[in-house]
Amino acid sequence: MDNNSHSKIAFEGETLEEAYKKASLEFNCSITNLKSEVIQAPTSGFLGFFKKNAIIQVYIDSSVTNEENKVNKKEIHIKDVSSKIDELHDTSVQITQTIQSNITETRSEKIFDDFYTKDETQTSIVDVKLNIQSDDTIDKITEDINKLFSNLCYEIDPIKVSYYDKETLYVEFSGKDAALLIGKEGYRYKALS
């Protein structure tokens, strides 16, 4: 069909979006079902003067509404699947009962006994603590961190590393772009940590 055979209605709004909303409310349909032609694009003018609103001419796209009607007219057949669900439920209950009957009590006792026995390899892993009290270690860490950050595009001063306590190092970033390393809400800082 030709666009001229449809009756067009003009809508005006401060923005194109507002004009389209008015048109969809008037025609009581989605914006996607409308065909439109922009008559005047909105402009902000100069210092608030010579401001122009958006003007569009709109009509309903009949091909889209015909397709929607075809979809709505198709009948939907729903099969009764409640009997299948009941069969599957009964089967799953039988499988569960079979599995539970196959579990032996001796195996559970073995697991219980193993749980409470003390294994020396497990305790030795827990007792390991980081002890960095060497200037060579600090120098190596400082060198590696400075080498890592020298390849970035940030302008930062040489990074200082010192002892904070027996198990923690203090790493100080300073320079023009040091704050950028923190990132928005500390995301880069958390990633570095």
By the 10 Å C-beta count (0-12 exposed, 13-18 middle, 19+ buried), 155 is classed as exposed
pTM: 0.32
pLDDT at 4: 47
- Residuewise pLDDT in 10s, the chain (193 residues): 444 456 788 989 888 888 888 888 888 887 877 888 888 888 888 877 888 888 989 887 666 555 555 555 556 666 666 667 777 767 766 776 666 665 544 455 555 555 555 554 444 344 444 455 567 888 888 898 888 888 877 788 888 888 888 778 888 888 887 777 777 777 776 776 6
What's the one-letter identity of residue 170?
Y
Q: Return phi, psi of residue 17, to 5°.
A: -60, -45
Question: Using CA of residue 78, residue 82, residue 83, residue 85, what is the dihedral sign?
Answer: positive
pLDDT at 74: 58
Q: Which CATH architecture has domain 135-192?
A: 2-Layer Sandwich (3.30)
DSSP result, 123-136? HHHHT-------HH
pLDDT digits (tens, 9 = 90+) for 23-58: 888 888 878 778 888 888 888 888 778 888 889 898
**Contact present, 26 and 33 (Cβ < 8 Å):** no
**Contact present, 84 and 92 (Cβ < 8 Å):** no
pLDDT at 120: 47
**∠ Cα 80 84 90 (to 5°):** 145
pLDDT at 44: 84
Domain boundaries, the chain: 3-73, 135-192
pLDDT at 114: 54
